[in-house]
């Protein structure tokens, strides 16, 4: 890691872990093997972020659209989710001061999974190191519609005036209201879209896409992505004074100055 990369590490990384099934097919394996290897990749990346001192890591584990997959595949995903929670060495992460949180619609998730999620959250609640947020049965549109329902209910009950509704208030009802918006979103698997992930929170997030399938995404691949992030200038819709000065110097050098 270069000194420049250290200065520009993102505070919050979000990852769309794509390509598990295609990786399995490429390697002549069943889809469940792809998800299982993907779980191992997730564990490595969590540890990589902890070592780098990344404050927040959000992983897109199961989208609201995944319910449309064949029932057998959904059952396999749920079983794998339970296995992942056991395999990612929760005890070790707890010793490393990692805090785990879950976001998403919990109404359709199996009782065993909900119990495991609650147990993990309770165990790591007081930790102050890297916060790992797992998005399960999550969708950006669901997040916004759910926030709208909660706000509408408050208005209906007389607890909120219409004029009080602004960006900050809407944000306070979204799933990541207690955390900063992601600085950097990585998507593996060669697709170039965000697939209904954190639609509200990605307003100024830097996006990075790689052809690497998720099971092959390791610490070295993460470093390549972080180097790319460090090379970018984030303007948040405004001007970059340093960049403006460079452009002015270039114009003067070319004899184009006013």
Catalytic residue positions, numbered: 18, 66
Cβ(196)–Cβ(144) below 8 Å: no
How many other C-beta atoms can be found within 10 angstroms of the C-beta atom of residue 227? 14
CA 169 – CA 180 distance, rounded (Å): 15
Cβ(74)–Cβ(67) below 8 Å: yes
Q: Which long-range contacts (CB under 8 A, 24 or more apart) does 165-172 make?
A: 170/200, 171/200
CA 182 – CA 14 distance, rounded (Å): 6
CA 38 – CA 253 distance, rounded (Å): 51
Cβ(56)–Cβ(184) below 8 Å: no
CA 213 – CA 187 distance, rounded (Å): 9
CA 153 – CA 23 distance, rounded (Å): 45
Cβ(189)–Cβ(214) below 8 Å: yes
The half-sphere exposure of 28 on its side-chain side, counting CA atoms within 13 A, is 0
Supply 28's token pair.
Answer: 């002549």
Cβ(59)–Cβ(103) below 8 Å: no
Bridge partners of residue 60, in order along the sequence: 16, 135
Q: How many helices (H) and strands (E) does the chain have?
A: 10, 6
């Amino acid at each position: 890691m270069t000194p420049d990369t250290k200065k520009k590490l993102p505070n919050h990384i979000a990852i769309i872990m794509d390509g598990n099934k295609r990786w399995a097919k490429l390697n002549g394996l069943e889809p469940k093997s792809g998800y299982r290897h993907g779980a191992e990749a997730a564990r490595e990346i969590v540890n990589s972020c902890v070592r780098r001192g990344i404050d927040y890591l959000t992983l897109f584990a199961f989208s609201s659209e995944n319910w449309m997959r064949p029932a057998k595949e959904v059952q396999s995903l749920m079983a794998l989710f339970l296995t992942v929670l056991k395999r990612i060495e929760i005890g070790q992460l707890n010793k490393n001061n990692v805090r785990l949180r879950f976001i998403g619609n919990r109404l359709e998730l199996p009782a065993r999974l909900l119990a495991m999620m609650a147990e993990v959250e309770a165990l790591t609640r007081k930790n102050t190191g890297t916060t790992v947020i797992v998005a399960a049965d999550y969708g950006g549109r669901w997040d916004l519609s759910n926030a709208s329902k909660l706000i509408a209910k408050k208005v209906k009950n007389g607890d909120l005036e219409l004029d009080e509704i602004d960006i900050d208030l809407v944000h306070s009802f979204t799933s990541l209201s207690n955390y900063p918006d992601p600085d950097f979103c990585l998507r593996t698997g060669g697709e170039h879209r965000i697939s209904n992930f954190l639609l509200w929170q990605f307003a100024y997030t830097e996006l990075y896409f790689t052809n690497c399938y998720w099971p092959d995404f390791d610490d070295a691949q993460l470093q390549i992505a972080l180097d790319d992030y460090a090379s970018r200038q984030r303007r948040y819709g405004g001007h970059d004074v340093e960049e403006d000065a460079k452009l002015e110097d270039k114009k003067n050098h070319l004899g184009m100055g006013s």
